[in-house]
Amino acid sequence: MFIISGENLIDLVAGPDGNLAPHAGGAPYNFACALALQGVGAGYVNPFSGDAFGVVLKRTLVASGARHLGRTSPKPTCLALVTTDERGQPSYSFYLEKVAYRDIDAATIASMTPPGAAGFHTGALALVPPDDQAMLDALVGARARGLLCTVDVNMRPVVASSAGVSLELYRDAALAVAANAHVVKVSDEDLRHLGLAGPPLASAKALVERGCRLVVVTLGADGAWAVTADAQIHQPAIPVKVVDLVGAGDCFFAGLIAWLFRNGALAGLRERAPAQDILAKALRHGAISAAIDVSRPGCQPPTWDEVLAWPTQSA
């Protein structure tokens, strides 16, 4: 089982007519659902609110096959207003004050981690100070107990700025968490926000030099790269009619991790990166996972069988 910590929220997605459609969301929450749908045990630890939105979030998580290991909080559900441009690229505005998912600490996460857990995952809004310290402590503790640690950086500088957190402090926090992970996913935009100047692959290599075994860089329509100490492997984006891009990165990363897990290549990442042919297959599985998601409204992760049945799988 993977233990997942980070935000759960409701994405209020604005349609062309201005009406708002609610979708269960939050990057780590999406990752938990997506991982479970691909046949990997997922235990989500952050609280859900007891309000109507919290009930929907928990029901959706459980329906995916994931387990909720946390409690119910009296605080309200976090909301995100989502608008998309002509390419389906989303922009977010978050309502974060005194919300349910933030009602957690590292000791609680450790207490909910069952013996034999395979990994720990976090990222996104959990890296924004002051929440970063709990995630860093949880990550360090998980790594000390032998769990494989994964982080989706997913930088949100507007959120940090609105909370009065300087970009420099946010960068330092995100880099500190990422440096303690075995596997890190970043976008080219994330790398710029992290202050890692230069071409994306060179910036990703800088994260490898900080201690990561594998850095996955997503470049939107230009596909994705897997970067290790010894290799750089490219995966083109999968052609698909895009409805919107909500949750694409979450589904990509979950698909990649699921493929590595189900093919026996994940545990060894604590010590060394997999062989290039293994990484190439995992990247492709992740890319197809993302393609299926973006062909649907909101974040709707595919199942393992849906990914294997995708017509370009054997191309």
pLDDT digits (tens, 9 = 90+) for 220-263: 889 999 999 999 999 999 999 998 888 999 999 999 999 999 99
What are residue 13's DSSP bridge partners? 21, 82
3-class secondary structure, 141? helix
pLDDT in tens, 180-223: 999 999 999 999 999 997 899 999 999 999 999 999 999 988 99
pTM for the full predicted model: 0.94
Q: What angle do CA 279, 281, 286 make, to 5 degrees?
A: 90
Q: CA–CA separation, 247 vs 259, rounded Å?
A: 18
pLDDT value at 303 more than 70 = yes
Strand order in the sheet with 9-14: 20-25, 9-14, 78-84, 90-95
Residue 228 C-alpha from the chain's centroid: 19
Work out the pLDDT band at 19, boundaries 50, 70, 90: confident
Measured from the Cβ of residue 229, the count of other Cβ atoms closer than 10 Å reads 12
Q: Averaged over 165-185, what is the pLDDT?
A: 96
pLDDT value at 76 more than 80 = yes
pLDDT value at 312 more than 80 = no
DSSP letters along 96-131, please? Answer: -TT-GGG---HHHHHHT--TT--EEEEEGGGGSTTH
Q: Averaged over 8-27, what is the pLDDT?
A: 87
- Which structure tokens are listed for 148? 């494989």
- Which structure tokens are listed for 79? 């909301």
Q: Averaged over 74-80, what is the pLDDT?
A: 95
Contacts of 75 by beta carbon, 8 Å cutoff, 6+ apart: 47, 49, 98, 99, 100, 102, 103
pLDDT at 313: 45
Q: CA–CA separation, 228 vs 79, rounded Å?
A: 36
User: What is Dmax (Cα atoms) for the chain?
Assistant: 51
Q: Find the helix packing angle between 131-144 and 167-179, rounded to 10°.
A: 10
pLDDT in tens, 107-138: 999 999 999 999 999 999 999 999 999 999 99
Helices and strands per DSSP (H, E), number in the chain: 11, 15
CATH of domain 2-309: 3.40.1190.20
For residue 185, the surrounding DSSP H or E stretch is strand 183-187
pLDDT at 88: 64
Q: Averaged over 40-65, what is the pLDDT?
A: 98
- Count of positions (residues) in the chain: 315
Contact 269, 228 (CB under 8 A): no
Domains of the chain: which residue ranges?
A: 2-309
